[in-house]
């Protein structure tokens, strides 16, 4: 196994934790805050994160189903989020071997185009199908998602950073 130098060995991931994080992400996305166009899409961050870290577990099927849920919840065009999330998940799997060799801030810089691509797909689909242009604030969303990337990699990898056998000095 080839790994970047200085990278800590991680514990195996708990599939329940992945599922739980996705459900929590979906729930936060469903917060009825009204029509705020620049809210970062938490599910996009989670899908890219797990697609990069666990490409065998979280792939395009999960992304597609979560996208359908988002479409129904937002009462958007059915399939709009599903397509964007599928493409996003594919892109995450395509870069997953390369991305983890970089430091976390440069990882954020590298996933920014992915988020921008997903939002551009949604925007394009809706403009083609007769929606209105929601305003320039929508381009803030991918930036905020990229900003969330370091935080996501800190929080979501925390359970895997535990020591294999806990003792008095390191209870967690």
Partner 1 sequence: MPLGTLERSAPPFFKQGPSALSRLAVYSALAVFLMVADARFQLTGPLRLAVATVLYPIQWAMLKPVELASRGSGYFQSLQEAQQELDAARQRMTQMGQRANQAEQLELENGRLRQLLALRDRLQTPAQAAEVIYDTADPFTRRVVIDRGQTGGVEPGSPVMDEAGVLGQVTRVFPLVSEVTLLVDRDQAIPVLNIRTGARGVAYGDPVAGNGGGMELRFMPANADVRADDVLTTSGVDGLYPPGLPVARVVRVERRADSAFARVYCVPLAQVQGARHVVVLKPLPENALPRPEPAHPAPAKRGARK
Tokens of 170: 């390191």
- Judged by CB under 8 A, the residue of 95, 117, 120, 126 near partner 1 is 126
CA nearest neighbour of 48 among 38, 56, 40, 59? 59
CA 107 – CA 120 distance, rounded (Å): 20
Q: Which part of the chain contacts partner 1 (CB under 8 A), choosing from 42-50, 107-115, 134-142, 144-152?
A: 134-142
Shortest distance, CB of residue 112 to partner 1, whole angstroms?
21
Burial grade of 38 (CB within 10 A; 0-12, 13-18, 19 or more): middle
Binding mask 58-97 for partner 1 (x = CB under 8 A): -xxx-xx--xxx--xxxxxxxxx-xx--xx--x--xx---
User: What count of residues does the chain have?
Assistant: 172
Using rule CB under 8 A, residue 146 touches partner 1: no
Phi, psi of 81 (to 5 degrees): -70, -35
Residues interacting with partner 1, by CB under 8 A? Answer: 1, 3, 9-13, 23, 26-28, 30-37, 39, 56, 59-61, 63-64, 67-69, 72-80, 82-83, 86-87, 90, 93-94, 125-127, 129-135, 138, 160, 164
């Amino acid at each position: 196994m080839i790994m970047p130098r200085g990278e800590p060995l991680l514990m195996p991931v708990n599939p329940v934790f992945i599922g739980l994080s996705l459900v929590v992400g979906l729930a936060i996305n469903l917060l009825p805050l009204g029509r705020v166009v620049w809210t970062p899409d938490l599910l996009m961050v989670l899908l890219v994160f797990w697609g990069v870290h666990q490409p065998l577990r979280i792939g395009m099927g999960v992304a597609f189903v979560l996208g359908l849920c988002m479409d129904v919840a937002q009462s958007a065009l059915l399939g709009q989020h599903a397509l964007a999330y599928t493409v996003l998940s594919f892109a995450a799997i395509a870069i997953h071997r390369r991305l983890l060799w970089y430091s976390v801030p440069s990882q954020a810089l590298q996933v920014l185009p992915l988020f921008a691509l997903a939002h551009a797909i949604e925007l394009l689909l809706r403009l083609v199908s007769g929606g209105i242009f929601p305003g320039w604030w929508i381009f803030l969303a991918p930036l905020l998602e990229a900003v969330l990337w370091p935080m996501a990699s800190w929080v979501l990898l925390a359970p895997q950073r535990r020591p294999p056998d806990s003792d008095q000095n390191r209870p967690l």
